[in-house]
Amino acid sequence: MKEINSVHNERIREWSKLQMKKYRDRTGLFLIEGEHLIEEALKAGCVCQLLLRQGLNHAFSHLEKTIAVSQEILDKLSSNQSSAAMIAVCRMPEFAAADWKRGVLLDGVQDPGNLGTIVRTAVSFGYEFLILSEDCADLYNEKCIRSTQGALFALPVYRASLATSIQRLKEAGFTVYGTALKKAVPLHQVLRKERFVLILGNEGQGISQEILAMTDQNIKIEMEQFESLNVAVAAGICLYELR
């Protein structure tokens, strides 16, 4: 197994920059930590390099792309306070286009934890793609990655203009559902279509009026007291019911 011992190693310096979004966007690479996430990334063929703590005997030790590194190096690359035992440098996943029938659109979701949870929920309930508005949180933020629990390696996620995306989806025969409190049909009354997308909005403001004006039907979750739910919780309820 190859080894790197110095935090000043050129490759380590370059990989440490991946903690910043601009370098992730520029290189198409990102960092993940922990056995479960790395296993999912390996299954998806997205691991470029795997860094394992020196002296740790693990199944990953025998992989050709594994490098033994010091704990100091792992700490330099880690975003967590607790010491990491393994970190992988991954390429952003790519997916071939397919005849998808169910998708999710997010309009300005800001919290990386919410975004990650929605990605995980969408995969769990069989949704096939997700489109983020240009002002959504970063999919490769460390908190978002952890929240997906590896689901980001199984779901095509795109960042694009929602208005343009909705227009194209409608032309392709998709019904567009929005989530709103006013002029909306109770969730249990929605007539489900074979091809559809669901739009969920910003944590504080919901879906913008411009995007709401483009929906075919708006839906709301029937509640006893409060008017709104956390966007990730609302996503779970709606995606389960609509599937």
The CATH code of the domain that includes 46 is 3.30.1330.30
Task: Flag whether 238 is in a domain.
Answer: yes
Are residues 72 and 114 both part of a single domain?
no
- 73 φ, ψ (degrees, to nearest 5): -65, -45
In this predicted structure, the answer to whether residue 227 has a pLDDT above a threshold of 80 is: no
Q: Are residues 72 and 134 in the same domain?
A: no
Domain shared by 76 and 174, yes or no: no
| Residue 118 placed within a domain | yes
Q: What percent of the chain has pLDDT over 70?
A: 100
Say which residue the tokens 């935090």 belong to: 7
Q: How far apart are CA 73 and CA 182, in angstroms?
A: 53
Last residue of a domain, one of 66, 91, 116: 91
- Where are the alpha helices (H) located in the chain, listed in sequence order? 10-16, 21-27, 35-43, 71-77, 112-124, 142-148, 162-171, 209-212, 231-242
* Structural domain harbouring 172: 102-242
Q: Which of 44-48, 68-72, 113-117, 183-187 has the lowest mean pLDDT?
A: 183-187
Domain count along the chain: 2
Q: Which of 59, 91, 123 is the last residue of a domain?
A: 91
Residue 223 scores a pLDDT above 90: no
The strands making up 175-179's β-sheet, listed across from edge to edge, are: 157-159, 129-132, 102-107, 196-201, 175-179, 217-220, 185-186
Q: Coil, strand or helix: which one is 132?
A: strand
List the structure tokens of 168. Answer: 């194209």
Question: Does residue 97 fall inside a structural domain?
Answer: no
The verdict on 74 and 161 lying in the same domain is: no
pLDDT tens, residue by residue, 71-110: 999 999 998 877 899 999 999 999 998 999 999 999 999 9
Task: Identify the domain boundary among 38, 65, 91.
Answer: 91
**Same structural domain, 81 and 110:** no
- Tens digit of pLDDT for each residue in 8-21? 999 999 999 999 99
Question: Which among 142, 55, 164 has a CA at the least distance from the CA of 90?
Answer: 142
Answer for the pair 68, 95: CB distance below 8 angstroms, yes or no.
no
pTM for this model (two decimals): 0.94
Average pLDDT, the chain: 95
Mean pLDDT, to the nearest integer, of 113-127? Answer: 98
Q: Angle, to 10 degrees, between the axis of helix 112-124 and the axis of helix 231-242?
A: 10
Bridge partners of residue 107, in order along the sequence: 201
Question: Using CA atoms, how far apart are residues 39 and 32, in angstroms rounded to an integer?
Answer: 11
Q: Does the residue 206 lie in any domain? A: yes
Do residues 52 and 125 share a domain?
no
Digit-coded pLDDT (tens) for 155-172: 999 999 999 999 999 999
Does 96 fall in a domain?
no
Average pLDDT over residues 210-219: 96
79 and 140 in a single domain? The answer is no
**Beta strands 86-91 and 29-33, pairing class:** antiparallel
Task: Tell me how crowded residue 237 is: count the other CB atoms within 10 A of its CB.
Answer: 13
